[in-house]
Amino acid sequence: MTDLPARRLLLVHAHPDDESINNGATMAKYVAEGALVTLVTCTLGEEGEIIPPGLAHLAADREDTLGPHRIRELAAAMRELGVTDHRFLGGPGRYRDSGMMGLEQNGRPGAFWSADLDEAAGHLVDVIREVRPQVLVTYDPGGGYGHPDHIQAHRVATRAAELAGTADFRPNSSGPHTISKIYWNRVPRTVAEQGFERLRAAGAAFPGVAALDDLPGVVADSEITAAVDGTPYAERKAAAMRAHATQIAVDGPFFALSNNLGQPIFATEFYELVHGRSGAPAGERESDLFAGVDA
């Protein structure tokens, strides 16, 4: 790619829908501000449970055509956010959804969980050297909530960031690239608590309410180093989530996954800086993931 925009953000996610739930507002905001936003999704989410009864036939244990369907859902979600650069790690279908931890699918040939780390990271190194992001967003080492594909996405993103800057790893014409800042997706505990209070007060149209500990990435407020106010993009985020109709049901500022348990949609998205230098004064949160980055 020539003539890259000045600011470039890379997000690495496990399945289609994770990007909209975690970072939809952040992605829409940076696209609107002229940054290059690149999404790499590691699997097609073939093992996902399906919410609309009319689409139940797509499931892995029936027609096993959920993957191609979710490619289209992701494309529709990215249209809502304005993201034009979205890719699948190694190409669509290269790595398959591993299913929840402990299932036999974890070890199936082609499952992302059983992928060779450096081979998988190598695909991402090519993307990093092409789009040369200053900022990388991914999950914490536990994958936020322990799903094998989320854990593996963390490992692959972390390894690729290291290898992309290593000149003698897969030398190519793009040349090595070092990412300035790496963030993990986070939710501050008090924000999660307030979100669930709003949900209980509003009584959204879901049979139950999720437990706070079911939310990925919830940590003590003191762990949060960046808060991106995506309020102007809240509608776009909700629209992107609705585009993942097999996986997400949206009701106003709330949503549910296939377990039918309501959760708040966060318009402000939170991060923990784990590599690189904060652009905020000591003790303060950043409001911009590119703070302190030289374009």
**Site residues for Zn ion per CB under 5 A:** 14-15, 18
| Least CB distance to Zn ion at residue 286 (A) | 26
Three-state secondary structure readout of 203-271: CCCCCEECCHHHCCCEECHHHCCEEEECHHHHHHHHHHHHHCCCCCEEECCEEECCCCEEEECCCEEEE
Beta-ladder partners of 188: 219
Which residue lies nearest Zn ion, judged by its C-beta?
Answer: 15
229 is in an annotated binding site: no
| Least CB distance to Zn ion at residue 150 (A) | 6
User: Which residues are CB-neighbours of 287 under 8 A, at least 6 positions away?
Assistant: 226, 227, 228, 229, 280
Nearer to Zn ion, 217 or 279 (CB): 217
154 is in an annotated binding site: no
| Least CB distance to Zn ion at residue 17 (A) | 7
Nearer to Zn ion, 78 or 164 (CB): 78
Nearer to Zn ion, 15 or 186 (CB): 15
15 is in an annotated binding site: yes
The alpha carbon of 295 is separated from its chain's Cα centroid by a whole number of angstroms, namely: 24
What is the rounded CA–CA span in Å between residue 169 and residue 118? 10
| Least CB distance to Zn ion at residue 209 (A) | 20
Nearer to Zn ion, 93 or 176 (CB): 93
Annotated binding residues for Zn(2+), written as ranges, equal 15, 18, 150
Annotated binding residues, written as ranges, equal 15, 18, 150
